[in-house]
Amino acid sequence: MSDAEDGSGGEDKEVGIRAVAKRAGVSTATVSRALNTPGAVRPALRARIAEAIAAIGYIPDASARALSSRRTRTIGAIVPTVDNAMFAKGLQALQSYLSTQDYLLLLATNEYDLDVELKQVRNLVSRGVDGLILRGDARHPDVRALLDSKPVPFVNVGVYEPDKPYPSVGIDNFAAGERITRHLVELGHRAVGVLSALQRNNDRAQARIGGVMQVLETAGCRPPEDWVVEVAYQLDDARQAARTLLTRADRPTALVCGNDVIAYGVIVEAKRLGLAVPGDLSVVGFDDLEWSRHLQPSLTTIHIPIDEIWVRAGRYLVEHLSGTIPAVRHREIGFSLVVRESTAPPPERSREVS
């Protein structure tokens, strides 16, 4: 066993894996197995070794562990931005799960830019991550080629696409768009506008809007082109877009928003313009962020179990890396419509016109 693997740096070999083994009453090989392949060591013995590690303050040498196990016990995740409560929530759940499996999470962002994502994938792979979690399935072709050529398992999170060859964990975004729109149509709305999240390189937003349009077309009320606006994930941008639509003489009676933050901006601007929500305008969102139930009025939205989605993605990789073939390659996570105070039938005048 080398000094590096011993964790002592050659200066004080007693303060290292030998000290842990001595305190726990096991061999250094057993300590090594507990650190590198914990599943091969009985839980009670792992606990005893963990107590010894904590007692002497031993910090395993990550590079030595990587050399001996050919694993760095790191998972890389690339998300468009951290300026999004849904991503932050999902990443926190993922990190909590990975820590229970003795994995470290490395995070990168791509700002919905496929060239940037390609660079980040290369960076993470070059740093020896054991697996990757990627948002959606909008990819640079070179990313696909790279991952096909490297033994780095990955999973697409936030989408459920069983017809594609790459593993996925998420909701059916098209169906979610259909469900939230049917709620408005069932209430009697026919003048429905759409404030979508930015759709460039965002297959989730594209699918949601596809579902929205499908229902509106079936109901015979496809909105005019200038009633469909893409909005950045910012309250100011949402308010500006809402102001443009709501100051029209032929304003919509309902707005489908691509996420809850956009919906918040719409509600704030509607109130500033003197419109009652939902008396004059119904508003719906996606995600069911914590603030959605505390707003006045509270927001009707699609609840997405984001914690479960990200933990399931992490579990898929951990199982794959442990040599266990995951039982399900594509996992659909259910969503639900949460009806709150921001939706109601359209104003009487609107119903008379229709």
Q: Is the pLDDT of residue 7 over 80?
A: no
CB 27 within 8 A of CB 41: no
What integer pLDDT is reported at residue 349 of this predicted model? 58
Q: Find, among 244, 261, 253, the residue nearest to 205 by Cα.
A: 261
From the list 17, 22, 64, 26, the residue with the least C-alpha distance to 46 is 26
* 156 in Cβ contact with 167 (< 8 Å): yes
Please report the pLDDT score of residue 83 as a whole number. 83
CB-based contact 196:231 (threshold 8 Å):
yes
Taken in order of first residue, the domains within the chain and their CATH numbers are: 3-69 (1.10.260.40), 74-169+307-331 (3.40.50.2300), 173-305+337-353 (3.40.50.2300)
**pLDDT (tens digit, 9 = 90+) per residue, 271-316?**
999 999 999 999 999 999 999 999 999 999 999 999 999 999 999 9
How much is the mean pLDDT over the chain?
89
Lowest mean pLDDT among 57-66, 95-104, 252-261, 340-349: 57-66
Find the helix packing angle between 203-218 and 173-187, rounded to 10°: 30
User: Is 59's pLDDT higher than 80?
Assistant: no
Whole-number percent of the chain with pLDDT over 90: 69
The candidate with the shortest Cα–Cα distance to 306, out of 155, 88, 138, is 88
Residue 319 contacts residue 283 (beta carbons within 8 Å): no
* Cis bond upstream, residue 278 (ω within 30): yes
Q: Give yes or no for a contact between 226 and 247, defined as CB atoms under 8 angstroms apart.
A: no
Confidence of residue 62 (pLDDT cuts 50, 70, 90): low
The answer, yes or no, to whether residue 90 has pLDDT greater than 50, is yes
Residues 6+ apart with CB under 8 A from 67: 4, 5
- Taking CA atoms, 249 is separated from 99, 252, 284, 335, in Å, by 55, 9, 22, 36
pLDDT tier at 324 (50, 70, 90 boundaries)?
A: confident
Rounded Cα gap, residues 188 and 135, in angstroms: 35
Q: Residue 350 has what pLDDT?
A: 53
203-247 pLDDT, tens digit per residue, is 999 999 999 999 999 999 999 999 999 998 889 999 999 999 999
Q: Is the pLDDT of residue 117 over 70?
A: yes
The DSSP element (H or E) to which 182 belongs, if any, is helix 173-187
242-251 pLDDT tens trace: 999 999 999 9
pLDDT at 104: 95
The pLDDT tens digits of the residues spanning 250-273 come to 999 999 999 999 999 999 999 999
| pLDDT higher than threshold 60 for residue 120 | yes
CB contact set of 286 (below 8 Å; sequence gap of 6+): 176, 180, 208, 257, 258, 259, 260, 301, 302, 304
User: For position 334, what pLDDT does the model report?
Assistant: 97
pLDDT tens track for 132-152: 999 999 999 999 999 888 889
Q: What is the pTM of this model?
A: 0.79
Respond yes or no on whether the N-terminal peptide bond of residue 162 is cis (omega within 30° of 0): no
